[in-house]
Chains A and B, each alone.
Chain A
Amino acid sequence: MKQSKLKIDSIEKLESNTFLISLKSNQSNEVITPGQFYNIKVSDNDFPLLRRPFSICDFINDRLYFMFDIHGEGTKMLSQKRIGEELDLLGPLGNGFDLSGDFDTAIIIAGGIGAAPFPYLIRKMPENKNVVSFLGAKSKSAVVKYGLKKIFISTDDGSEGFHGNVVHLFKSKILDFVDKKIKIYACGPTPMLISLQEFVIQNKIDCQISTECSMACGFGICQGCPIEKSSGDGYLLVCKDGPVFNANAVKL
Chain B
Amino acid sequence: MTGIDLSVNVGKLKLKNPVLLASGTNGYGNEISNLTDLSKLGGIVTKSLSLKPRKGNPPQRIVETSSGMLNAIGLANVGVESFVKEKIPFLKELNTTLICNIAASSIEEYVECTKILTAEELISAFEINVSCPNVKEGGLEFGNDLNAVGRITEKVKAATNKPIIIKLSPNVSRISDFAKVVKQEGGDAVSAINTLVGTAFNIWTKKPKIKNVTGGLSGPAIKPVALAKVFEISRNIQIPIIGIGGIMNWQDAIEFIIAGSTAIQLGTVNFINPNAGVEIVEGINAFCEKTSVGKISDLIASYQI
Give A residues with C-beta under 8 Å from B. Answer: 1-3, 41, 46-51, 90, 213-228, 233-235, 240
Chain B at the A interface: SS class: loop
7 contacts between A and B (CB under 8 A): A48-B64, A49-B219, A220-B27, A220-B30, A221-B271, A223-B76, A234-B55
Chain A at the B interface: SS class: loop
Having A49-B67, A50-B64, A51-B272, one finds 15 other A-B pairs with CB under 8 Å, namely A41-B272, A47-B66, A49-B220, A49-B268, A50-B69, A51-B271, A213-B60, A214-B59, A217-B271, A220-B27, A220-B30, A222-B25, A223-B76, A225-B61, A228-B58
Chain B, residue nearest A217 (CB): B271
- Given A1-B35, A49-B68, A223-B56, check contact A235 B76 (CB 8 Å): yes
Are B71 and A222 in contact, with the CB atoms below 8 A?
A: yes
Q: State how many residues of chain B have any CB contact under 8 Å with chain A.
A: 37
Specify which of B34, B58, B76, B268 is in contact with A1 (CB 8 Å cutoff).
B34
* B182 at the binding interface (Cβ < 8 Å): no
Chain A, residue nearest B26 (CB): A221
Are B73 and A222 in contact, with the CB atoms below 8 A?
A: yes
* B32 at the binding interface (Cβ < 8 Å): yes
Chain B, residue nearest A74 (CB): B64
Are B31 and A240 in contact, with the CB atoms below 8 A?
A: yes
* B296 at the binding interface (Cβ < 8 Å): no
Chain A, residue nearest B72 (CB): A224
**Bound CA span A212–B230, Å:** 38
Chain B, residue nearest A3 (CB): B35
Are A233 and B270 in contact, with the CB atoms below 8 A?
A: no
Contacts of A1 in B (CB 8 A): 34-35
Are A50 and B272 in contact, with the CB atoms below 8 A?
A: yes
* B248 at the binding interface (Cβ < 8 Å): yes
Contacts of A223 in B (CB 8 A): 24, 27, 47, 56, 61, 73, 76
Specify which of B35, B57, B59, B271 is in contact with A222 (CB 8 Å cutoff).
B271
Q: Give the distance to chain B from A217, nearest Cβ to Cβ, in Å.
A: 4
- Given A49-B67, A49-B219, check contact A216 B59 (CB 8 Å): no
- Given A51-B272, A219-B31, check contact A224 B67 (CB 8 Å): no
* B274 at the binding interface (Cβ < 8 Å): yes
**Bound CA span A227–B61, Å:** 11
Q: Give the distance to chain A from B130, nearest Cβ to Cβ, in Å.
A: 20
Are A222 and B62 in contact, with the CB atoms below 8 A?
A: yes
Contacts of A221 in B (CB 8 A): 25-27, 31-32, 270-271, 274
Contacts of A227 in B (CB 8 A): 59
Chain B, residue nearest A216 (CB): B271
Are B63 and A214 in contact, with the CB atoms below 8 A?
A: yes
Q: Give the distance to chain A from B188, nearest Cβ to Cβ, in Å.
A: 27
Specify which of B35, B58, B66, B275 is in contact with A226 (CB 8 Å cutoff).
B58
Contacts of B55 in A (CB 8 A): 233-235
Specify which of A41, A47, A90 is in contact with B67 (CB 8 Å cutoff).
A47
Are A235 and B64 in contact, with the CB atoms below 8 A?
A: no
- Given A3-B274, A41-B272, A49-B272, check contact A213 B59 (CB 8 Å): yes
Question: Of residues 50 to 100 in B, which have CB atoms within 8 Å of A's CB atoms?
Answer: 55-64, 66-69, 71, 73, 76
Are A46 and B61 in contact, with the CB atoms below 8 A?
A: no
Which of A90, A214, A234 gathers the greatest number of chain B CB atoms within 10 Å?
Answer: A214
The interface bits of chain B over 21-49 (1 if a CB of A lies within 8 angstroms of the residue's CB, else 0) are: 00011110011101100000000000100
Contacts of A90 in B (CB 8 A): 35, 274
Q: Give the distance to chain A from B39, nearest Cβ to Cβ, in Å.
A: 18
Specify which of B25, B47, B271 is in contact with A50 (CB 8 Å cutoff).
B271
**Bound CA span A234–B78, Å:** 11
Are B73 and A217 in contact, with the CB atoms below 8 A?
A: no
Contacts of A2 in B (CB 8 A): 34-35
Q: Give the distance to chain B from A27, nearest Cβ to Cβ, in Å.
A: 16
